[in-house]
Structure 1
C-alpha cells in the first residue's frame, strides 16, 4: 500500500509482513519477561488504561513524581536491550537519525486508549519517533502541534509503521479505541505498540 501523510506523520501501511510481526511478538515476550508490563499512574494518581514496559538504555515511566525516562524498571531491574529486529528497522527507515535509546512497549487490552499527547520528554526533538503496530486494529488520531486544532484519524492495522519526524514530530496524537479481537496475532487479543526514540 502507498505511504500516507496524516498531518505530517508518515504512515507505512502493511510495512511488516506476517513473519516479521510474529518474530516481533516473540521479542516483546522476552522484553516483558525481563521487565514486566506495568500500569502506570499520572501525576494526579489516575491509572493509565495502557500497560507499559520498555527496552533500551532507559525506559519511560509515569507516577506521582511526573512523566520521565528512568535508567531502571520500577521493579529495580535493568531494561533489556532493544531487539536487533527493531534496530534494523530503524536503520532501514531512518538512516540519517541517531541510534534509538529506548523502545517503549504499550499493550492495549480491551477498552484501553491513549489520549492526545505530544512526545516531548526527549532532549533532542529533531530526532524522529518510529512506531510499530502489532495485533488488533487501533483508531489512530493525529492533530497539529497545538491543542484544539483539526484532527484526522485512521485505523492502524498489524504491521503498520508510523514515523513522527519533521513537521509531524510534535503533532498531537493518540489512540481512541481498538477493535478488540480483530487480529489473530495475539492469542488473547489486544494491541501492541512499539515506539523507538532517541532520548538524550
Structure 2
C-alpha cells in the first residue's frame, strides 16, 4: 500500500535544482475603517481571532497594524529582530518564533543562545534551533498587542518590502497564564525608527 501511494504521488521531475519563486506584492485593501478595526481588535479574547477579524473587515495584516493605533501596535526599527534576539539570549528568556510560507508554519519554542551576525544574515546556531534570517529583506517591524482573556499578548512582526510577514516572535507562554514581564521589557526596549521616534 505504501509503494502504491509513492507511485501515485511521485513527480516525474525528480531534479534537485532550486527554483526561486518571488512572492507577489500583498494586495492593498483600500481605505481602513479605523473605528471598526479598533472596536473589533479591542473585543478579541484570543490571539487566534485575529485572522477572522482581518477577513471580516477585508483588511491586510500590515494595513491593520499600521492603522489600529499606538496602544495596539507601534513601529520599531527594521533591525529590531537582532536587538530582540540578543536581549533574549542575554536574559535567557524563552521565545516562540514563527516562520511560515503558503504550505506550512515552523515554530521554535525555547531559549536562544548563540546569535551570530554574518553580512546581511542574522544566524542562530544553537544545537536544537538554527535560524538564518536576511536582515536586509526586512522593511518594517511592528510590536503588536492583542487582547486575550489572560491580558494582552505581545509580538514582534517583521515584514518585507511587499508587505508579507517574514517572521513573528512571542514570549513563551502557557494558556491561562499572563504574559511574562521579561518579554514585555525586551519589546519595550526595542529602538524606534527615526521617522517615528518619540
Q: Provide the TM-score with structure 1 as the length reference.
A: 0.27
Q: Provide the TM-score with structure 2 as the length reference.
A: 0.28
| Structure whose CA Rg is larger | 2
Structure with greater helix percent: 2
